[in-house]
């Protein structure tokens, strides 16, 4: 089945430092979604990327979809304590039917 791998598993940064998490798939994806889960909370949708090479920005967050549509990244510029949480990517393709497969997530800790 489709595998969506995400690295790193954990990241600890000082407030103001940048942060990047990477998502890689063994197969070409139709689209990729990113979610954020605060400690004790539920995943919340951030964004979706569909096109090859697509780049989208949300304030300090930059999302990229690779040219081959097999990888994606989320970059946070100048982290803040409010960025703490776990970031998940989720992908699907024509072979996965209607199953949306999540990566294992990257847990971000930001210390002031």
Partner 1 sequence: NAGVTQTPKFQVLKTGQSMTLQCAQDMNHEYMSWYRQDPGMGLRLIHYSVGAGITDQGEVPNGYNVSRSTTEDFPLRLLSAAPSQTSVYFCASSYSRSLNQPQHFGDGTRLSIL
Give the interface with partner 1 as residue ranges (CB under 8 A).
Answer: 1, 6, 9, 30-31, 33, 35, 41-45, 48, 50, 88, 90, 92, 97-105
Q: What is the CA radius of gyration of the chain?
A: 14
**For partner 1, the closer CB: 39 or 112:** 39
Among 45, 26, 30, which residue's Cα sits nearest to residue 88? 45
Report the nearest approach of partner 1 to the CB of residue 55 (Å): 18
**For partner 1, the closer CB: 44 or 78:** 44
**For partner 1, the closer CB: 50 or 78:** 50
SS (H, E, C) the chain: CCCEEEECCEEEEECCCCEEEEEEECCCCCEEEEEEECCCCCCEEEEEECCCCCEEEECCEEEEECCCCCEEEEEECCCCHHHCEEEEEEEECHHHCCCCEECCCEEEEEEC
Report the nearest approach of partner 1 to the CB of residue 99 (Å): 6
Report the nearest approach of partner 1 to the CB of residue 93 (Å): 9
Report the nearest approach of partner 1 to the CB of residue 6 (Å): 8
**For partner 1, the closer CB: 14 or 94:** 94
């Amino acid at each position: 089945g489709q595998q969506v791998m995400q690295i790193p598993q954990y990241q600890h940064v000082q407030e103001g430092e940048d942060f990047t998490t990477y998502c890689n798939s063994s197969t070409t994806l139709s689209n990729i979604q990113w979610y954020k889960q605060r400690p004790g909370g539920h995943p919340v949708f951030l964004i979706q990327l569909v096109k090859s090479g697509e780049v989208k920005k949300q304030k300090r967050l930059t999302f990229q979809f690779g040219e081959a549509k097999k990888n994606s990244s989320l970059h946070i510029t100048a982290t803040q304590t409010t960025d703490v949480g776990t970031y998940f990517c989720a992908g699907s393709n024509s072979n996965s039917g209607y199953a949306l497969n999540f990566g294992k997530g990257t847990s971000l800790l930001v210390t002031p």
